[in-house]
Amino acid sequence: MMSETTQNKQTIGFQAEVRQLLQLMIHSLYSNREIFLRELISNAADAAEKLRFQALADESLYEGDSELKIWIDYDKDARTITVRDNGIGMERQEVIDNIGTIASSGTRRFLESLSGDEAADSRLIGQFGVGFYSSFIVADRVALETRKAGLPADQGVRWESTGEGEYTLEAVNRPARGTTVTLHLREDMDEFLDGARLRAIVRKFSDHIPIPIVMKQDKGEGEEVVNSASALWIRSKEEIEEKDYEEFYKHVAHDFEGPLARLHSRVEGTNEYTLLLYIPKNPPFDLWDRESTHGVKLYVQRVFIMEDPKLMPRYLRFVRGVIDSDSLPLNVSREILQENRALERIRAGAVKKILGLLEDLAKNRPEQYRIFWKSFGSVLKEGIIEDSKNRDRIAGLLRFASTRDEDESQNVSLTDYIGRMKEGQDQIYYLVAENYQAAKASPHLEVLRDKDIEVLLLWEPVDEWLVAHLTEFEGKPLQSVAKGDLDLGGLKDEGEEKARELVAQTFGDTLEKLKKLLGDKVSEVRLSQRLTDSAACLVLDNFGLSRRMESILKSSGQPMAFGSKPILELNPKHGLVERLRDESDAGRFEDLGKLLFDQAVLAEGGQLGDPAGFVRRLNALLQEALPASSRESS
Ligand code: ADP
Ligand code: MG
């Protein structure tokens, strides 16, 4: 027997990433060490739910025992704690894949992002969800024995590791279905060899687990169920303590921190369902990972069916929690569920509730809403594009940076903006730029600043799409200050108009000459109504793609249907522009004209076609302008 075991015993090295994760976890989570129990119970509960789901189609998987439970035991002499379940269990390859490797590329990228700064990293670890490896916070040796439901007893597997560089794997005979995890405690962890302590931890973290968690009684031979063992979301709100809501969230969301907000609601009628949904505080590590499998969990009549990010629209992919339907059929396959009408209605109902929750947060707990916006604002913006039915509500939830604010914090709603509009103003002005600095300093803002008109500033990658889909809010059109003739509507000033016309006449054929010179770099050269300080800027016609959008499309490999050329606008009151007008020497006219164009490109954060030419022309001009004395001394 002994030699047989040794013969089939195999030693396998952990992936480098797992080793790194283990080290970090042991060090950074030391002060939270009791969470190991929560994690093991959470896995045992998941295993029970998986078995229950699979047994819907194949009852033989129960092997005659359908009472799913979790047992916790400790042994003072051996200094061990065991957590046992009769859930789905694992076969050999599953043990290798789930415990010892990190399969998802998202997780690997996450680990690469760890900085080595312990405080920062332990917060990240929390977001990432610690899982099975947290056993090694309290144990210096962990053994896991498991046998998959439906397989014969000789298909058992034993995994063991000290958490250092490798683990062993061997075949064992295991009549009992499910998994047993045995923790050999570290020297200083004897505090956990105490029934009262373990029971308190279970009640604190795992009371909401809908499966009985059983422990031996301290006195006598009996067993007792330590937790409430009923689905939390089915209980009435009055019965649920705040801490249970919070611990349940941590369980479903794999989050270390509590949630930002929640909604718990039961919908009656032909389509009955219960929602217990949460908004996290921090973005999960895989928020931008297209392969992420985390999302809302679907239950049918208390039976776990699937966890699917698609239960929520993509723009609400940060929502976590449970939807439990009483009307969906229990014996339904995941594939059929995905296009089920009743599920569609549940989805639509859940979306409305979440939007309502966010509206409530924005109105009544603005500080919390600010945290939400910082974490998920750029995701919510996708809703403007994705969910045209709810577009108006989503638009009401948007927050922007604005020329009124001193920094790039995004606090201004469209409603705030409209409330502050100037008399005669009938449009919502915005500017999309490369980044906040470029937006804030853009020449396009000059005349609006002069007239004290607020402009919303946008610079996130999603923003170009956002403004393409959000053309108005509460009857007020959105207008880019960098596109078309800047239409000031009712803000126009008759006197100014007249003065401008007079100045325009003095320009004669200057604009035409410059257009010829610049060729097809621009579609037009004209005098500007936007500029007060700068000499020149580029604008697009109303349908033109912005420079930024072009580069987004180019980098995503989309062929450009049409290259949109910008319009060059000149400020007739600027000294350089006046000089251009009055310049009779063709060579100097060319230098100055090209210089003005290049300046306008630079002000947008663009790249010059001929940077060396720009420098040469600029220097020529500077030398000409410098006083004679400094020319001599150089
Ligand atoms: P997570 O639970 O977030 O997936 P864990 O590290 O806690 O991450 O667990 C990794 C995987 O190991 C689980 O997803 C599951 O597939 C498997 N596993 C862990 N514990 C058990 C168990 N008691 N029974 C069956 N499978 C388990
Ligand atoms: Mg887990």
For 577-601, the pLDDT digits (tens) are: 999 999 999 999 999 999 999 999 8
User: pLDDT value at position 532?
Assistant: 87
Predicted local confidence at residue 498, as pLDDT: 83
* CA 417 to ligand 2 center in whole angstroms: 46
Residue 493 pLDDT level (bands cut at 50, 70, 90): confident
2 membership: H or E segment, kind and range? helix 2-8
pLDDT band, very low/low/confident/very high, at 504 (cuts 50, 70, 90): confident
CA–CA–CA angle 409, 412, 413 (5° rounding): 140
Report which protein residue has its CA nearest ligand 1's atom 17.
98
Residue 228 CB less than 6 A away from ligand 1: no
User: pLDDT band for position 23 (50/70/90)?
Assistant: confident
Q: Which CATH superfamily is domain 494-633 in?
A: Heat shock protein 90, C-terminal domain (1.20.120.790)
Q: Sheet containing 456-458: which strands, arranged edge to edge?
A: 401-402, 456-458, 428-432, 476-480, 472-473
Ligand 1, residue 254: give the atom nearest the CA: 3
pLDDT of residue 270: 84
Taking residues 176-188, report their average pLDDT.
96
- Rounded to the nearest angstrom, the distance between the alpha carbon of 170 and the centre of ligand 1 is 19
Q: For residue 16, what pLDDT band results from cuts at 50, 70 and 90?
A: confident
Tell me the domain boundaries of the chain.
2-229, 234-364, 399-491, 494-633
CA–centroid distance, 375 to ligand 2, in Å, is 24
Sign, CA torsion 556/557/562/565:
positive
Residue 543 — very low, low, confident or very high, per pLDDT cuts 50/70/90?
A: low
Q: How far is the CA of 42 from the centre of ligand 2 (A)?
A: 6
CB 309 within 8 A of CB 293: yes
Instruction: Return all residues near 403 (Cβ < 8 A) that are at least 6 apart.
Output: 440, 445, 448, 449, 454, 455, 457
So what's the pLDDT on residue 623? 86
With CA atoms as reference, report the closest residue to 527 among 491, 574, 559, 482: 574
What would the mean pLDDT of 549-565 be, rounded to a whole number? 60
Q: What is the mean pLDDT of residues 110-119?
A: 68
pLDDT of 5 > 70? The answer is no
| C-alpha 45 – ligand 2 centre gap (Å) | 9
pLDDT at 634: 46
Tell me the mean pLDDT in the region 521-529: 90
Alpha-carbon distances, residue 29 vs 33, 122, 141, 332 (angstroms): 6, 7, 17, 41
What is the rounded CA–CA span in Å between residue 486 and residue 537?
13
User: Under 8 Å CB-to-CB from 289, ≥6 apart: which residues?
Assistant: 105, 106, 109
Q: Is 592 left (phi over 0), alpha (psi -120 to 50) or beta?
A: alpha
Q: Which atom of ligand 1 is nearest to the CA of 130?
A: 6
Establish whether residue 596 lines the binding site of ligand 1, counting it when its CB lies within 6 angstroms of any ligand atom.
no
Torsions phi, psi of 180, nearest 5? -120, 130
Homologous superfamily assigned to 2-229: Histidine kinase-like ATPase, C-terminal domain (3.30.565.10)
DSSP assignments along 20-70, one per residue: HHHHHHHHHTGGGTTHHHHHHHHHHHHHHHHHHHHHHH-GGGGTT-----E
Q: Note the CATH number of domain 399-491.
A: 3.40.50.11260
Q: How far is the CA of 44 from the centre of ligand 1 (A)?
A: 8
Gap from CA of 307 to ligand 1 centroid (Å): 14
The ligand with the least distance to the CA atom of 68 is 1
Q: Sign of torsion, CA 305 309 314 315?
A: positive
pLDDT at 561 over 60: no
Which amino acid residue places its CA nearest to atom 23 of ligand 1? Answer: 44
- pLDDT tier, 332 (very low <50, low <70, confident <90, very high otherwise): low
Nearest to 297 by CA among 274, 315, 280, 331: 274
Q: Find the mean pLDDT for residues 434-442.
A: 89
The label of the residue with tokens 């050329």 reads: 565
Q: Whose CA is nearest to atom 13 of ligand 1?
A: 98
Residue in 112, 138, 123, 125 with CA at minimum distance from that of residue 34? 138
* 466, HSE (Cβ side, Cα atoms, 13 Å): 27
Which element (helix H / strand E) includes 358? Answer: helix 341-364
Highest mean pLDDT (candidates 102-111, 301-310, 413-422): 413-422
Say how far apart CA 314 and CA 317 lie, in whole Å. 5
Burial class (CB in 10 A: 0-12, 13-18, 19+), 271: middle
- pLDDT level of residue 626 (50, 70, 90 thresholds): confident
How far is the centre of ligand 2, averaged over its atoms, from the C-alpha of 252 (Å)? 10
Most confident of 85-89, 114-118, 461-465, 479-483: 85-89
C-beta separation of 604 from 547 below 8 A: yes
Look-up of token digits 């325009």: 504
| pLDDT above 50: residue 2 | no
Mutate to test the pocket of ligand 1, among 15, 40, 46, 174 (most ligand atoms within 8 A of CB): 46
> Cα separation of 124 and 112, whole Å?
12
Mutate which of 15, 37, 43 for ligand 1? The one with the most ligand atoms within 8 Å of its CB, which is 43
Calculate the average pLDDT of the chain: 88
| Residue 601 contacts residue 607 (beta carbons within 8 Å) | yes
CATH class for domain 234-364? alpha beta
> Measured from the CB, is residue 90 less than 6 Å from ligand 1?
yes
pLDDT in tens, 76-86: 999 999 999 99
For ligand 1, whether the C-beta of 375 sits within 6 Å is: no
Q: Which long-range contacts (CB under 8 A, 24 or more apart) does 199-204 make?
A: 199/226, 201/34, 201/37, 201/38, 202/37, 202/41, 202/72, 202/226, 202/227, 203/227, 204/243, 204/247
**Is residue 104 within 6 Å of ligand 1 at its C-beta?**
no
Nearest residue by C-alpha to atom 10 in ligand 1: 98
Confidence band, pLDDT 50/70/90 cuts, at residue 627: confident
Q: What is the pLDDT of residue 356?
A: 98
Whole-number Å distance between alpha carbons of 86 and 214: 12
